Amino acid sequence: MNDLTNARSPAVTTASPLSPEAPVRAQVADLSFWYGKFQALHGVSMPIEDRRVTAIIGPSGCGKSTLLRCFNRIHDLYAGVRYEGAINLMPDGLNLVSRTVDPILVRLMVGMVFQKPNPFPKSIYENVASGLYVRGIRTKSEVEGRVEKALKQAAIWDEVKDRLKSPAYELSGGQQQRLCIARALAPEPKLLLLDEPTSALDPIATAKIESLIDDLAKDVTIVIVTHNMGQAARISDQTAFMHLGNLVEFGETEQIFTNPKADQTRDYVTGRYG
Amino acid sequence: MSGEADLEHAATMRLVRAKRVQDLVFGVIGILVLIVVMGLLVTLVADLLIDGVGRISPEFLTSFPSRRAAGAGVLSAWIGTTLVMLVTAAIAVPLGVGAGLYLEEYAAKNILTDAIEINVSNLAGVPSIIYGLLALGFFVYGLNLGQTVLVGGMVLALLILPIVIVATREALRAVPSGLRESAYGIGANRWQVMWSYILPSARPGILTGAIVGLSRAIGETAPIITIGALTYIAFLPPAPVSATPPWINFDWLNSPFTVMPIQMFNWISRPQAAFHVNAAATGVLLLGMTLLMNGFAIYLRYRLRRLVRT
């Protein structure tokens, strides 16, 4: 086994010094995370650049979903979890994982889409509007406008515009997932988290979601966890490779996939990982 | 930071605070409601305990009822209750679980099963004295079984059957459909799917339903009085186990009996205060028996859950 696996070694970070046109949206700084006594993240540090797509890859159990779920404090729903370090949301530098920061505030700012499509058992329209309702936005014209905008952003408007009142469960799996993306987008989050959003979908639905992520990156900062290395290579600008709770390497996606610095990253992205 | 961003930030913080206040308000209301409910319960139990707990002694448990309050005990009542509950459980659980399984897994979904379902649910709401009348007419006089432990157990079993059936169906419905599909997927027939996969997953829920039913049955008085159980029993049913072959006998099923709630009812309706103390003590014991039964069920459920998870 490689000596990188257990040691708490600093990640190889080869990202170029950040240029002014790519400001940082969030800075993960020495973040550690525990499920009870089990430490799932070991001092992860990486920047999340504004309006770009950051992919987190790695083998099962490497902590990539755990890291993603720190960004909106979904871990707080379960007892016995503990954070150390920081995820600073720019420009204010608000530490998302600080105990003094209300998780509700964090979730109002950070949207999330889960692995399996999980629409609410309500109409398509109400699903997208739900994020607005919990924010106290109830003016009919405003809600309608933002629902339409979000559905368009999620590239599903043309398929549902004539049946906004029908139940979300009538949609196909791929459509449901795009609906969930629209639901996350409607409140205009500062950060959009995608946790393996296509792992339950067929290739055609996956292709649609990938192209919509590409378009979204113009307006929204996206962090995506994926099992599919081809997907990370296709849609992300930066890639983080994780293993056993450590960030092994972080850099421009092209560099990670064509010229990785760490042997482990090379083995993983070339499919030789054992 | 621009003024507009400041404004937006302030609005967000106001929103978060409003959300927290709302959570707090509902939290406080919840605690108040809980205090009222728990307060009532605690008062009730405490009243019973203050009146009765001093009267409980080994002699109280091992004496038959008597005309003298100080010498009276609940021996025949607690043994009667135990035996009747045994009969009730032995009848209601297999019948109820079987009916629930059939309705949920085997029966075709049509108007007939819908009608049966509605009727089963309604049966749970029929007053218990109606069951008593049914048992009096059918078991006691129709079948000429007399006022025995068997009849007492049967009427209580009838009473709780709907509860067990409904709980069984709910528990079966809560089994994830993936489990059913994967079991059928390996080529199992209905019986194998049910016996090896569905039933083990549903067992904790079924058990809970059975115990809820039995807890109701243990306190029932009306149907037992209706079938004519005696209030004064100064002897015990024949022992179920004997020293001579065939070692086990079922004569106790045909023995007259009394149960704890009836003993309590009997004592509370006497004018002397000393008997009222006896009644309170009987109530404490009945509570204890119910608690024991529920405790056993919680233990079983905990063990079964662990088995299912692994």
In angstroms, the CA B88 to CA B161 distance is 10
Show the domain range for A231. 21-112+189-269
| Chain A residues touching residue B14 (CB < 8 angstroms) | none
Q: Is the pLDDT of residue A15 over 60?
A: no
CA–chain centroid gap for A97, Å, is: 16
What is the phi/psi pair of residue A183, to 5°? -60, -40
Percent of chain A at pLDDT > 70 equals 91
Question: By the 8 A CB rule, do B103 and B119 touch?
Answer: no
CATH of the domain at A204: 3.40.50.300
DSSP state of A75: G
B92: Cβ contacts below 8 Å, ≥ 6 apart? B156, B157, B160, B161, B164, B210, B213, B214, B217
Q: What does the block give as tokens for A79? A: 């007892």
For B12, which residue in chain A has the nearest alpha carbon? A105
Residue A218 resides in a domain: yes
Looking at residue B106, its pLDDT comes to 85
Q: How many CA atoms lie within 13 A of B118 on its CB side?
A: 5
Mean pLDDT across the stretch B160-189? Answer: 88
Using pLDDT thresholds of 50, 70 and 90, give the confidence band for residue A1: very low
Mean pLDDT across the stretch B22-26? Answer: 93
Cβ pair B12:A108 closer than 8 A: yes
Q: Which of B21, B9, B151 is closest to A92 using CA atoms? A: B9
Q: Is the pLDDT of residue A134 over 70?
A: yes
Q: Tell me the CATH number for domain B57-309.
A: 1.10.3720.10
Using pLDDT thresholds of 50, 70 and 90, give the confidence band for residue B11: confident
Residue type, B44: L
Looking at residue A273, its pLDDT comes to 64
Q: Is the pLDDT of residue A55 over 80?
A: yes
Element (H, E) at A225: strand A222-225
For B6, which residue in chain A has the nearest alpha carbon? A92
Q: Chains A and B: how many Cβ contacts under 8 Å? A: 18
B76 backbone φψ class: left, alpha, beta (φ>0; ψ -120 to 50)? alpha
User: Distance of CA B141 to CAs A248, B137, B230, Å?
Assistant: 83, 5, 16
The CA-based dihedral angle spanning residues A214, A15, A94, A84, taken in that order and rounded to the nearest 10 degrees: 110
**Mutual orientation of helices B199-218 and B273-309 as an angle, nearest 10°?**
180
Cβ pair A136:B18 closer than 8 A: yes
> B12 at the A interface (CB within 8 A)?
yes
Cβ pair A102:B18 closer than 8 A: no
Cβ pair B16:A105 closer than 8 A: yes
Q: For A81-106, write each residue's pLDDT tens digit.
A: 999 999 999 878 899 999 999 999 99
Cβ pair A92:B1 closer than 8 A: yes
DSSP state of A16: P
Strand, helix or coil for residue B249: coil
Residue A5 resides in a domain: no
* Burial letters B143-166, b for 16+ CB under 10 A, else e: eebebbbbbbbbbbbbbbbbbbbb
Cβ pair B19:A104 closer than 8 A: yes
> B35 at the A interface (CB within 8 A)?
no
Mutate which: A102, A107, A132, A137, vs B, most B CBs within 10 A: A102
DSSP state of A167: B
Residue with tokens 């609906």: A179
Cβ pair B13:A105 closer than 8 A: yes
Question: A24-35 and A81-89: which strand pairing?
Answer: antiparallel
> A133 at the B interface (CB within 8 A)?
no
Q: Is the pLDDT of residue A181 over 80?
A: yes
Cβ pair A102:B15 closer than 8 A: no
Cβ pair B15:A91 closer than 8 A: no
Cβ pair A104:B13 closer than 8 A: no
**Mutual orientation of helices A124-133 and A140-153 as an angle, nearest 10°?**
110
Distance from CA of A84 to the nearest CA of B (A): 24
In angstroms, the CA B211 to CA A258 distance is 64
Question: By the 8 A CB rule, do A213 and A44 touch?
Answer: no
Cβ pair A108:B1 closer than 8 A: no
Candidate from A91, A92, A136 with C-beta closest to B15: A136
| Chain B residues touching residue A109 (CB < 8 angstroms) | 12
DSSP state of A168: G
> B273 at the A interface (CB within 8 A)?
no
In angstroms, the CA B11 to CA B45 distance is 51
Q: For A229-256, write each residue's pLDDT tens digit.
A: 889 999 999 999 999 999 999 999 999 9
Candidate from B1, B16, B20 with C-beta closest to A108: B16
In angstroms, the CA B225 to CA B137 distance is 13
Q: What percentage of chain B's residues is helix, strand, coil (to nearest 5)?
A: 75, 0, 20
Query: ω before B246 within 30° of 0 (cis)?
Result: yes
Residue A80 resides in a domain: yes
Mean pLDDT across the stretch A24-40? Answer: 93
Mutate which: B1, B9, B15, vs A, most A CBs within 10 A: B15
> A17 at the B interface (CB within 8 A)?
no
Question: By the 8 A CB rule, do B236 and B76 touch?
Answer: yes
A186-190, A194-198, B191-195, B297-301: lowest mean pLDDT where?
B297-301
In angstroms, the CA B179 to CA B198 distance is 8
> A108 at the B interface (CB within 8 A)?
yes
Distance from CA of B303 to the nearest CA of A (A): 23
Query: ω before A91 within 30° of 0 (cis)?
Result: yes
In angstroms, the CA A225 to CA A53 distance is 11
Regarding an ipTM greater than 0.90, the answer is: no
Question: By the 8 A CB rule, do B200 and B307 touch?
Answer: yes
Q: Is the dihedral of CA B270, B271, B274, B277 positive or negative?
A: positive
Total tally of structural domains belonging to chain A: 1
Cβ pair B20:A104 closer than 8 A: yes
